[in-house]
Structure 1
Amino acid sequence: MAKMSWAAGTQCVAKADHRKPKPEELSYHKGDVLTIVDHGTKGYYKARHNSTGGEGLINSSNVREREALRVDPGLSFMPWFHGKISGPEAVCKLQPAEDGLFLVRESIRHPGDYVLCVSVSGDVIHYRVRYRDNKLAIDNTQYFYNLIDMIEFYSKNKGSIATILLKPKQKHGTKSAELELSKTGWLLDITKLKLGKNIGEGEFGAVHEGHYMGQRVAVKTIKCDVTAQAFLQETTVMTKLQHKNLVRLLGVILHKGLHIVTELMTKGNLVNFLRTRGRSVVHSVQLLRFALDVCEGMEYLESKKLIHRDLAARNVLVSDDSVAKVSDFGLTKVDSKESDNAKLPVKWTAPEALKKEKFSTKSDVWSYGVLLWEIFSYGRQPYPKMSLKEVKEKVEGGYRMQAPDDCPPGVYSLMRMCWEPEPRRRPAFHKLREKLEREMGKLSPGCREGIGTGSRC
């Protein structure tokens, strides 16, 4: 039975092809993702095709709602990877013998190398995978960036091994992330992606501009297996989020590693946007609009009980029509138990999070105060000329940054509220939004009606 009460913005996946639409209907293929725009009549909805942008009516019985991925520690891009087990253990795991049944293990004899174990004609063959110059190889003819890449190749080509890899032997307790992504409609087709120029180097890999089925996209490419696995957390979080001020995930592609495909934000990150344009181009009303955009995105995360943990202007992207959207959910956690202090952005992190690893929406509010300072200083580095050690000590001792030049007093008082030492005394994001809307009304009275309706003042 099709669900009959989808709200506008709901994403759906087509269950079958619809190639011969009537005049008012939308054409689509099985697996295409469509966004509900409005209710139609008698089980029909008005929908937009996520890739082509076309709009038309769809029959609700032909689509299913696109599910978010469940957060599951067992989800793995490499369910066939068994870690450090011996050869005899691998042979036991590949019983009963079946041609093309395989697993990968860490080599005990040669630390740093791997072993591909494959069942053929009732026997198990062990292929040593050498790791040299950041590449993997079984022979000297075929080189791979990572294990995902290697398994993908030998699942389609016999190459120098005895048989094509047909069936992964999953490690106990793991589930194939590829299968889950495919079932929920988040796995995209590599043949429909055209990569363009490099638009950034992240800590984990390159970011490219590209086209996916006619839509301009950004593609974050992660070649390291371990990092790809870590980014599964970010991807899982992003499948749950739908808001105009959060960068939208379109899906992922598994090919020679992991590609995370999102909407393209043509004007880059907010820090660079502000630094390269400055006061003569970007006026106070626009700065407030950016502050409100980010606040609305964070209010939505707050409503989902999600903590961002790395809110900063570098992690806010600006769209073609100058809408600011929060991105980089790499550190986002549903709870705050896990932490890695080494990676924490000290100048943006609340004192209780630095000292006691206590993360909450209220520690995000502290970071938002620093982001406000970045916005109204046109992208300056916070705590100018201070070392990280000094920042930690001084902030704990009660030091707070001065207001940036020409910052409206009302906005600076908001920053100070965000930097209350006691987390519970900091305002929630919905309160911050209300205060910012009042500020916007003071600066530009005609803007008041436009706020919250998507109007860009």
Structure 2
Amino acid sequence: MESGPRLYSFDHFNFDPKWFIDPKHLYVGPRIGEGAHAKVYEGKYKNQIVAIKIVHKGDSTEEIAKREDRFAREVAMLSRVQHKNLVKFIGACKEPVMVIVTELLSGGTLRKYLLNMRPQCLDTHVAIGFALDIARAMECLHSHGIIHRDLKPDNLLLTEDHGSVKLADFGLAREESLTEMMTAETGTYRWMAPELYSTVTLRQGEKKHYNHKVDAYSFAIVFWELLHNKVPFEGMSNLQAAYAAAFKNVRPSADHLPEELAIILTSCWQEDANARPNFTQIIQMLINYLYTVSPPGPAIPSRIFTSENTVLPPESPGTSSLMAKRDDTGDTPRVKDEIKPIGFLCCFSQCY
């Protein structure tokens, strides 16, 4: 444990030293993404092109402790789970700043990909392929007792060929405990399960119990987007969407969809969390639907029907990359063979 107020070491979280990144071998290139608590850069680590997430340290003692806690938890979870539909973790370091290094996926976020397609929709088979990728990633997380809590198109990344999706950003993920209450109103309102939203303003740090089924609800909203290529709860603000879902039981329309797909959506976003299917069941329902419309063949690659975690072999279109950049035309450029790196230890004045 380092000196100072509540500063966590990796050892406190059983972090394997093999995942330590030596900052002397890390070079930071252009910024490619930014969130409330971190910025993401394209860079290099030992000549491998990577995504570098630099976590803001915070200002107050309390904020510093909270950010370090969250950083250590994210690193611990990333180092524990590996799956082809989860962004590949390469390593992390805590000094001179908190850094997480992952593979760089050059296909961009699912949100940008869908936005650039509008008003066109994805082919249904492609949409289901992406949904299978997401469901398999979630099945893997849940099998390790991890809830993601922020499943949305911004956290889903496409491979360079736009053939598959990978889940990224474990900043809000945490281990599930049946006996522990967890922070409410965690996630992004438009995709957030109703049980996460409170009728009254919670005091800071106040806890509320929920379980892994919050991710099934978020999955349903994302799957609806994949099928319709529209913003869910269109015309509502984020808070209005959360209020309508939580207190008026409003959901996006599942009309005009094949009955089997409508059943998947409506079962996943049920108000009663315990009645929602788990991701193993969701995967099976999606594969069953594909079999009814078209068995494996030239139209649908057999890999879509296969997976490491399900009875039927799964592999499918998915997403993997940490915030890839796009130009003004909406095209996603290929990752350059060479970037102009700057030394890791010299870049921090530009990172904040």
Gaps of 5+ in 2: 59-63, 199-206, 307-313, 319-352
Residue of structure 2 equivalent to 1:24: none
CA contact (8 A) 1:193 1:211 kept: yes
C-alpha distance in 1 between matches for 2:227 and 2:112? 13
Q: 1:350 aligns with which of 169, 193, 199?
A: 193
Q: 1:436 aligns with which of 276, 286, 293?
A: 286
User: Which one has the largest radius of gyration?
Assistant: 1
CA contact (8 A) 1:307 1:361 kept: yes
Q: 2:76 aligns with which of 231, 236, 243?
A: 236
C-alpha distance in 2 between matches for 1:352 and 1:179? 31
- Summarize the Cα distance change of 1:244–1:183 in structure 2 as closer, same or farther, 3 Å threshold: closer
C-alpha distance in 2 between matches for 1:394 and 1:342? 15
Residue of structure 2 equivalent to 1:398: 249
> Structure 2: which amino acid aligns with 1:335?
E
* Superposition pairs of residues 306-385 of structure 1, within 5 angstroms: 306-321=146-161, 322-335=163-176, 337-341=180-184, 343-355=186-198, 357-378=208-229, 380-385=230-235
> Structure 1: which amino acid aligns with 2:291?
G
Instruction: Tell me, yes or no, if structure 1 residue 415 matches structure 2 residue 258.
Output: no
C-alpha distance in 2 between matches for 1:175 and 1:401? 42
> Structure 2: which amino acid aligns with 1:241?
V
C-alpha distance in 2 between matches for 1:287 and 1:325? 14
C-alpha distance in 1 between matches for 2:68 and 2:280? 34
C-alpha distance in 2 between matches for 1:270 and 1:416? 22
Gaps of 5+ in 1: 1-75, 84-170
CA contact (8 A) 1:285 1:443 kept: no
C-alpha distance in 2 between matches for 1:413 and 1:179? 44
C-alpha distance in 1 between matches for 2:254 and 2:210? 26
- Summarize the Cα distance change of 1:455–1:436 in structure 2 as closer, same or farther, 3 Å threshold: closer
Residue of structure 2 equivalent to 1:222: 55
- Summarize the Cα distance change of 1:442–1:309 in structure 2 as closer, same or farther, 3 Å threshold: same
When normalised by structure 1's length, the TM-score is 0.57
Aligned length in residues:
288
C-alpha distance in 1 between matches for 2:27 and 2:106? 17
Report deviation, 1:80: 1.6
Report deviation, 1:416: 0.5
Q: Deviations over 1:191-212 (max 9, x none)?
A: 2222222111121232111122
Q: Secondary structure at the match of 1:359?
A: coil
- Summarize the Cα distance change of 1:363–1:223 in structure 2 as closer, same or farther, 3 Å threshold: closer
Q: Deviations over 1:152-205 (max 9, x none)?
A: xxxxxxxxxxxxxxxxxxx8xx76438988862111122222222211112123
> Structure 2: which amino acid aligns with 1:211?
K
Residue of structure 1 equivalent to 2:129: 289
C-alpha distance in 2 between matches for 1:326 and 1:243? 10
- Summarize the Cα distance change of 1:407–1:219 in structure 2 as closer, same or farther, 3 Å threshold: farther
C-alpha distance in 2 between matches for 1:372 and 1:180? 34
When normalised by structure 2's length, the TM-score is 0.73
* Superposition pairs of residues 238-317 of structure 1, within 5 angstroms: 238-278=78-118, 282-317=122-157
Instruction: Tell me, yes or no, if structure 1 residue 449 matches structure 2 residue 302.
Output: yes
Which structure has the highest strand share of the two?
A: 1
Which structure has the highest helix share of the two?
A: 2
C-alpha distance in 2 between matches for 1:318 and 1:369? 19
C-alpha distance in 2 between matches for 1:298 and 1:254? 27
| Greater RCO structure (CA 8 Å; 6+ sep) | 2
Residue of structure 1 equivalent to 2:344: none
Aligned residues: CA RMSD: 2.8
C-alpha distance in 2 between matches for 1:296 and 1:233? 22
CA contact (8 A) 2:38 2:54 kept: yes
Identity percentage of aligned residues: 28
